[in-house]
Amino acid sequence: MLFGGIIVVITIILPIIFLYGKGVRMGQNVWITIPTYWGNQGRDGNPAIVDFDHPSSLDTEGTLGRTLESLKILKDDFTLLLIIAVTHNEFAHLALEKVKAIVKKFTAVFPVFLVSHKNLGSINEALNDPILSLDSYGNIRNVQLTIPYIMGADIVVGIDDDEVIEDPGFLGKVKKYIGKKYMGEVIAGMAGPYFDQTGNYRISGAQELKSSGNVFIMKNYYMDEALKNVMSQKKEIIKSNVAFGGNMSFFRKTIRKVCHDPYIPRGEDYDYVINARMKGLNFFFQPGMSIVHLPPDSTDSQAGDSVCKMLADIKRFIYLRKKMNFLSREYKEEVFDSDYLLPYPGIYLGEGLDLESQAKEALRILYPEYCDNHPPEIVVKEAVRVADKKVQEFYLYRAKWERMMEFIDQSIILKEVIISRCSV
């Protein structure tokens, strides 16, 4: 009995005492999670393992410190989780040391936890299935959800390392609604808008794309229309699929059931809303819950397009179409109304739309020089091949996620693992 009592103190009581010391509140447990990306876009012979939009160079301070500084104005208590991702494995140690140096002056202000390549392995070892990874946007977002869930988070707020919060009551706006009922429906999660440094939320140049007639070239137009629709409504909160990963909040019960898709190359935010809807859970949009987005390569609210982004969009929407077809064929009990996704990204699921032909045309129109060495027919054929494979893997991953969450709910040691490996 004495030995058993000692074990209980070590595995349960001491972590709780530790958390009080770190400032984690035992009431409504709110976590802010920030992925921070480091490295470069690679070169011939050493390409990036992961294509991030704008990773911070390791010879700069990056934008993370500015983001952390902005968190100091928040009225509500929270715990911070930073997820360190790199474009090349050889940068992992340097990035970890860089982030530790940046975060050092903030640890007296709010409790901080770090996850990187260095400690993710030990976390995976403590789980029933080592499915966590840092090799895609979707996988990184799943780490954002898993660590706070293990630590008992009621609410997880995801922002990015190139943003600042200017509203001291930002977290209060999240807590006001999330997990509660509105118009008869539980608010499973919420998103809010991005504003650029000029106070604009619209996507620069988006309306000019309307006349192109090609769904891939028009992507920003569709996104802008969806955003305009929710921002123009005179309501504090609106049921909507519009979501930005850098301003997105998740309720604990939603995390329990829904994962990000590790296999989608871009748009993991909108895709998460789709995954939640598969489970009968709805996201809402709160226009007043805004954040300022300051990407280093653009003064507008959205970074400029490139061939890499176009290729990722082609893979993404071909994949999404097959993913939804697989759902309707193999999971008939998960009724899904695609109108919920209009105008974006539902336009890419329209019956009669020849998505593959549109993809080839977009590449030829926008990137003819790229097409000289990369025939669009081959590019699109490969996107279809990969999508056929990854769609089935997603539904297997989704089942693993739910089993992992069951394991976490029953574990008495995982909190101790996170505290010992991840706290700063």
The string of pLDDT tens digits covering residues 137-168 is 999 999 999 999 999 999 999 999 999 999 99
Q: Are 183 and 237 in contact (CB under 8 A)?
A: no
99 domain residue, yes or no: yes
Phi, psi angle pair for 79, to nearest 5°: -115, 140
- Give me the residues paired with residue 251 across strands: 155
How many CB atoms neighbour CB 285 within 10 A? 25
In what helix (H) or strand (E) does residue 137 lie, and over which residues does it extend? helix 137-150
Q: Compute the half-sphere exposure of residue 291: CA atoms within 13 Å on the CB side of its CA.
A: 29
- Which pLDDT value is given to residue 295? 87
The string of pLDDT tens digits covering residues 187-241 is 999 999 999 999 999 998 999 999 999 999 999 999 999 999 999 998 999 999 9
- Find the DSSP H helices in 251-375: 252-257, 268-278, 307-330, 355-366, 368-373
The string of pLDDT tens digits covering residues 335-394 is 888 888 999 999 999 989 999 999 999 999 999 999 999 999 999 999 999 999 999 999
Domain that holds residue 105: 29-422
- The domain tally of the chain equals 1
Q: Are 82 and 103 in contact (CB under 8 A)?
A: yes
6 domain residue, yes or no: no
4 domain residue, yes or no: no
87 domain residue, yes or no: yes
- Which pLDDT value is given to residue 305? 58
Q: What is the end-to-end Cα distance of the chain in Å, rounded?
A: 34
The closest of 281, 283, 282, 278 to 334, measured between CA atoms, is 278
The closest of 131, 114, 108, 163 to 261, measured between CA atoms, is 131
CA dihedral 240, 241, 246, 247 (to 10 degrees): 20
Pull the structure tokens for residue 211: 């006349």
195 domain residue, yes or no: yes
72 domain residue, yes or no: yes
DSSP notation for 355-422: HHHHHHHHHHHH-HHHHHHS-HHHHHHHHHHHHHHHHHHHHHHHHHHHHHHHHHHH-SSHHHHHHHHH
The string of pLDDT tens digits covering residues 97-132 is 999 999 999 999 999 999 999 999 999 999 999 999
Single-letter residue type at 312: A
pLDDT at 15 over 50: no
pLDDT at 40 over 90: no
How many CB atoms neighbour CB 354 within 10 A? 10
14 domain residue, yes or no: no
11 domain residue, yes or no: no
Pull the structure tokens for residue 32: 């802010």
The closest of 347, 314, 330 to 391, measured between CA atoms, is 330
- What is the CATH number for 124? 3.90.550.10
- Which pLDDT value is given to residue 18? 44
pLDDT at 406 over 80: yes
Average pLDDT of the chain, as a whole number = 91
